[in-house]
Amino acid sequence: MDLQLIGKRALVTGSSSGIGVGIAEMLAAEGASVVVHGRDAGRLQAVHDRIAARGTPVAMARGDLAIAEEAQAVAEAALGAFDGIDILVNNAGGSSDEEAKSWFAVPLEEWTKTFEKNVVAAGRLIHAMAPAMKERGWGRIIQISSAAGTIPTSAQPDYGPAKAAMVNMSLGLSKALAKSGVTVNTVSPGMIHTEGLEDFLRQFAARRGWGDDLAKAADYILQGTGQTVDRIGRVDDVAYAVCYLASPVADFVNGVNIHLDGGGSSSIY
Ligand SMILES: NC(=O)c1ccc[n+]([C@@H]2O[C@H](COP(=O)([O-])OP(=O)(O)OC[C@H]3O[C@@H](n4cnc5c(N)ncnc54)[C@H](OP(=O)(O)O)[C@@H]3O)[C@@H](O)[C@H]2O)c1
């Protein structure tokens, strides 16, 4: 299937590690010109060089999206790289703490930080890029939320609500951009195998006295998710969904939230 992404210009935030790398690499493999983004200069350069080595047009934008001036600089660098952005993937984010802290153990300042780097960061880039997409009559905005956004747990009261806000924001924005040719959709991953997840599993196993048995920790957590697919998600699982939503062939899909969680969602939508 031809996803018709050749020549499209994409910014993937948070593509210096984890899921964002996979999204950026797959969009590039499909022929898009990609701006990779992150804060860590070394990791960002490495991802850039890997994509460039394949001969695909790629550029870098570095900065902390939780800081208004840096987010503005990131937007300007990305818009300048290929003279515009057609596809914005708001993937940067995560929780403020590596460990899943219990509800009352998360200080309120962390709530603010988590909202800044997930919700406000996405809003900043939307403000910077959506008007030009609308004017051109074509664009794609894809937000990476989380299963935690629609399946609240008794931990991380900063993270789940922030990710829920992203789903809400996407649907509202799809209505604000109605009939403009710009679609706005969300992908909500469950547990996805990244280095960050490995760190989390390592800490989880150590706390329970399981040593370095990451498989045991993963299995334990997997049982609790109610997944109907018996494996942890892969970065490519998310990247495939994003590439589809980013493509012209998905122009009838607007305002949806794809639950990419191995069947772990316990609702009918
Ligand atoms: N992995 C999972 O199981 C999972 C599940 C559900 C949802 N998600 C969501 O998927 C997205 C990617 O997660 P991941 O697991 O791939 O995480 P990750 O490996 O920790 O990568 C996060 C990326 O976001 C960037 N980032 C974080 N805070 C930033 C900020 N304030 N300003 C600019 N960039 C920032 C990081 O940049 P630097 O490292 O360069 O600083 C990095 O490139 C996140 O939004 C996360 O909430 C992940």
pLDDT, tens digit (0-9, with 9 covering 90-100), for 135-166: 999 999 999 999 999 999 888 999 999 999 99
pLDDT of residue 200: 87
pLDDT digits (tens, 9 = 90+) for 164-187: 999 999 999 999 999 999 999 999
Q: How far is the CA of 179 from the centre of ligand 1 (A)?
A: 31
Ligand 1 atom with least separation from CA of 20? 16
Count of CB atoms situated within 10 Å of the CB of 138: 16
Q: Is 197 in the pocket of ligand 1 (CB under 6 A)?
A: yes
C-alpha span between 47 and 235 (Å, rounded): 15
Ligand 1 atom at minimal distance to the Cα of residue 163:
47
Contact 90, 126 (CB under 8 A): yes
Rounded to 5°, the CA angle 191-242-182 comes to 135
Nearest CA to ligand 1 atom 36: 14
- Residue count of the chain, please give it: 269
3-state class (DSSP) for residue 39: coil
Residue 266 has pLDDT above 80, yes or no: no
The angle formed by the CA atoms of residues 253, 258 and 263, to the nearest 5 degrees, is 140
Return the residue matching tokens 């997997």.
222
Q: Is residue 149 lining ligand 1, measured as CB closer than 6 Å?
A: no
Whether residue 39 has its Cβ less than 6 Å from ligand 1: yes
pLDDT above 90 (res 44): yes
159 belongs to the catalytic site = yes
Higher pLDDT, 229 or 269: 229
- Is the pLDDT reported for residue 256 higher than 90? yes
Taking only the tens place, the pLDDT of each residue in 67-113 is 999 999 999 999 999 999 999 999 999 987 656 678 999 999 999 99
Q: Does the CB atom of residue 238 touch ligand 1 within 6 A?
A: no
Active-site pick, 159, 240, 244, 269 = 159
Q: Which of 16, 158, 258 to mutate to test the pocket of ligand 1 (most atoms within 8 A of CB)?
A: 16
234 C-beta closer than 6 A to ligand 1: no
CB of 92 closer than 6 A to ligand 1? yes
**Mutation test of ligand 1: which of 39, 118, 151, 188 has the most ligand atoms closer than 8 Å to its C-beta?**
39
What is the reported pLDDT for 101? 78
- Residue with the two structure tokens 């772990």: 264
Q: Give yes or no for residue 166 CB within 6 A of ligand 1.
A: no
Beta-carbon neighbour count of residue 67 at 10 Å?
15
